[in-house]
Amino acid sequence: MDTEPDSPVTEAELHAWMDGELPEERRGEVERHLAGNPDLARRFDRYRAQRAMLKNTFGPLIDRPLPAALVPPYARATGRPAVRPRRWLPALAAAAVLLVFIAGGAGGWWLRGWSGGAGGGGAAFVADAVAAHRVFAVEVRHPVEVGADQEAHLVGWLSKRLGKPLRAPRLAATGYDLVGGRLLSDARGPAAQLMYQDAAGRRITLYIRPASDAPDTSFRFAQDGNVQAFYWRDNGLAWAVTGDLDRVTLSAIAEEVYGALNS
């Protein structure tokens, strides 16, 4: 690894910094780089939050004896206690996440945690977001109630009904422009949908609902057939970015939405 003071900060160095493994002489340069790049700093804040979530989830399991079926034959023969070495934590966490993906991703929902969710259930929230996307994204004549030409009225109206200040993020950098939006309702009360469209006619939607004020800005991912969503909670609102797009593209759009809302 290049450790010259004036060398560019690399992705590897950023991860080493987050893991506490970066050489001391590079730490100041990396921290100055993050301070000058707020979007990058927010991304690594989310990484840290995700790692903390994994640690909280799997940490209590580390010192428990392995199930008998997983004890190596030599350990059973010698009678040595089969305790998980602490260094297995990252592998166990990664394996668990991969197992959830394989089990759920092929045909139905694949969800990553969020037990607190938007008012008590991330799964219900993102299911509502996907259902609303499927209903309205295909509409030709009436995709929205209020068009983008009345954006100020739309945002003011939805903000009043949700009881939280709302913004319609600018997504032109990703190729999507605001079409408009509508007021919706679900089992927990009022919700809002903003719709965006690109030059090819592809549509994405933002589904927004009031949530608890506790921030949970790490992204979660869900998939139902061909529709995928990234969702999170911030500033008293739960957000879901939903579309029939590949995961990498939708992730970049979700990052753009988050950045626009927090700029």
Which residues, 6+ apart, have CB-to-CB distance to 94 below 8 Å?
none
Element (H, E) at 69: none
Tell me the pLDDT band of 145, cut-offs 50, 70 and 90.
Answer: very high
pLDDT over threshold 90, residue 214: no
DSSP structure string for 191-203: EEEEEEE-TT--E
Q: How far is residue 158's CA from residue 178's CA, in Å, rounded to a whole number? A: 15
pLDDT over threshold 50, residue 192: yes
Query: Which of the pair, 201 or 5, is modelled with greater confidence?
Result: 201
Average pLDDT over residues 127-136: 92
For domain 122-261, give the fold: Phosphorylase Kinase; domain 1 (3.30.200)
Q: Please name which of 100, 65, 58 lies closest in space to residue 79, comparing C-alpha atoms.
A: 65
Q: What is the pTM of this model?
A: 0.58
Tell me what pLDDT residue 176 has. 94
* Helix axes of 24-35 and 38-58: crossing angle, nearest 10 degrees: 120
Tell me what pLDDT residue 42 has. 77
Which residues, 6+ apart, have CB-to-CB distance to 153 below 8 Å?
146
Tell me the pLDDT band of 100, cut-offs 50, 70 and 90.
Answer: very low
pLDDT averaged over the chain? 76
Question: Are 17 and 27 contacting, i.e. CB atoms less than 8 angstroms apart?
Answer: yes
Question: Helices H, strands E: what count in the chain?
Answer: 8, 7
Query: Which of the pair, 94 or 262, is modelled with greater confidence?
Result: 262
Alpha-carbon distance values, 224 to 66, 127, 129, 137, 257 (Å): 34, 9, 11, 15, 21
Which tens digit of pLDDT belongs to each residue from 152-191?
Answer: 999 999 999 999 999 999 999 899 999 999 999 887 889 9
pLDDT over threshold 60, residue 117: no
- Per domain, the residue ranges of the chain are 122-261
Query: Which tokens hold the place of 186?
Result: 């679900």
Tell me what pLDDT residue 129 has. 92
Average pLDDT over residues 97-120: 40
Tell me the pLDDT band of 148, cut-offs 50, 70 and 90.
Answer: very high
pLDDT over threshold 80, residue 57: no
Question: Are 217 and 45 contacting, i.e. CB atoms less than 8 angstroms apart?
Answer: yes
Angle at 240 between CA 236 and CA 244, to 5 degrees: 170
Question: Are 163 and 210 contacting, i.e. CB atoms less than 8 angstroms apart?
Answer: yes
Query: Which tokens hold the place of 37?
Result: 């790049």
Which tens digit of pLDDT belongs to each residue from 2-40?
Answer: 444 567 888 778 878 887 888 888 888 888 888 888 878
| Residue 213, φ and ψ in degrees, nearest 5 | -75, -10
